[in-house]
Structure 1
């Protein structure tokens, strides 16, 4: 019996070595893997934000971990691919001019996201506070204290990609047969966060690494690219097959890299 167990263990180790499977995901969370995937020097589709007045809006605020109804400053934001959204700014910013500065700052950053990640975006909530961002509900939630920390770490845009994936891709893909098949076919998750919450976070955790290897392969290290491709080859292939509208991100490098199997 002991010999059988030793042989089985040896075969398992050999199999893992051959396939690249690992018991632990390569990353804790993917917003931290590289700060140059999207940067403040990249093109933005943001055209501007026009103040439309103040109005009652229901917004989620992580500082109270719940919904609040506020007389928010409202801005109609437009992007040069034809998409629009309403930016709702907490009145704590003091004046329409103070709120406009926030709307312009984050509108510009959101405009760096590809069209596919903004297609279902209807509203943006902006509050003060050092609290996590959020995505979903046709919305992106921003807390400006946390945004300052993300900016200093160089991962503000990467975080917005993650949240916007929740907003615009989750409903159509997270429970699709193709995505679930890709999950089951891969031998690993890309991050511990994805592994801990496979239904809620795996899609959002996997999209940014796909974007990195397919559209920013010249900006990331070969080691990082190989780690991503070996960890989730079937998820990468799934994203490839969707032919997403990635404007304004440069598409010249897309699909130049082979998928590891």
Structure 2
């Protein structure tokens, strides 16, 4: 018996966080302003090394941004004293200042641990979306490949947009209209990965004209046009990538 997945075209990408390494780079401006030390405090955080939430004392730092956003960085004391623990927070806080404002605005926490584990993003308790960072070999590989910013955008999308988008009639209708997935990762995890896997491609099309190859943008526009329209209809604030007033793409008729 055939299924819908049997008649779909093979997705053009395996995972979309890797398809546009120049979409956001370390040379881009950041909205980051300052990092304020808050000392030790007890927090519940997720740690992939034990695959569980744990409550522990963390070094706390408030990262402030030019648009008034504040994200609390919670750093595992395994990095050392307050000065040593501040270093990974100081590294990642400006990077979050380069991601679309709609993601940063709703992030409450950033959890940072050592370890060779993937990043993550979660709505957490529904009111305090969080991004998870492990600073080991995988993080270094993201840096080496030039996709650190795009990985963080993907994970922040999980934290902020998933619960607001994935089960809405508009998104479900867009999935049905497209009839395809942008990546094998989205196809194999349609309820948990499709929004995050589609958002970086959306940014590549609407904001990456000078940074993402035309062939890549053409492939995205041909594969998930309805999903792109669904994101457009949300009128998301994607600054500093591009001013919302000029979000609508030139050269793509969908």
TM-score using structure 2 length = 0.91
The one of 222, 231, 248 aligned to 1:255? 248
How many residues align structurally?
Answer: 241
Determine if the alignment matches structure 1 residue 49 to structure 2 residue 42: no
What is residue 39 of structure 1 aligned with on the other side? 25
Determine if the alignment matches structure 1 residue 30 to structure 2 residue 20: no
Gaps of 5+ in 2: 1-6
User: 1:152-163 to 2 correspondence within 5 Å?
Assistant: 152-163=144-155
Determine if the alignment matches structure 1 residue 101 to structure 2 residue 101: no
Q: Residue 116 of structure 2 aligns to a residue in which SS?
A: coil
Structure 1 window deviating more from structure 2 (57-66 vs 244-253): it is 244-253
What is residue 4 of structure 2 aligned with on the other side? none
Q: Distance between the aligned counterparts of 1:127 and 1:206, measured in 2? A: 28
The one of 114, 135, 152 aligned to 1:144? 135
User: 1:218-257 to 2 correspondence within 5 Å?
Assistant: 218-251=210-243, 254-257=247-250
CA positional deviation for 1:258: 4.4
Asked whether the equivalents of residues 47 and 80 of structure 1 are also in contact (C-alpha less than 8 Å), the reply is: yes
Larger radius of gyration: 1
Q: Residue 47 of structure 1 aligns to a residue in which SS?
A: strand
Deviation by residue 1:83-134 (Cα, 9 ceiling, x = unmatched): 1121000000101111111111110111111110122211110001110100
What is residue 7 of structure 1 aligned with on the other side? none
User: Which of structure 1's runs of 4+ aligned residues deviate more than 3 A?
Assistant: 258-261
User: 1:1-261 to 2 correspondence within 5 Å?
Assistant: 23-136=9-122, 137=124, 138-145=129-136, 146-251=138-243, 254-260=247-253
Q: Distance between the aligned counterparts of 1:99 and 1:203, measured in 2? A: 33
Asked whether the equivalents of residues 202 and 228 of structure 2 are also in contact (C-alpha less than 8 Å), the reply is: yes
Asked whether the equivalents of residues 190 and 206 of structure 1 are also in contact (C-alpha less than 8 Å), the reply is: yes
Gaps of 5+ in 1: 1-20
Q: Distance between the aligned counterparts of 2:236 and 2:226, measured in 1? A: 17
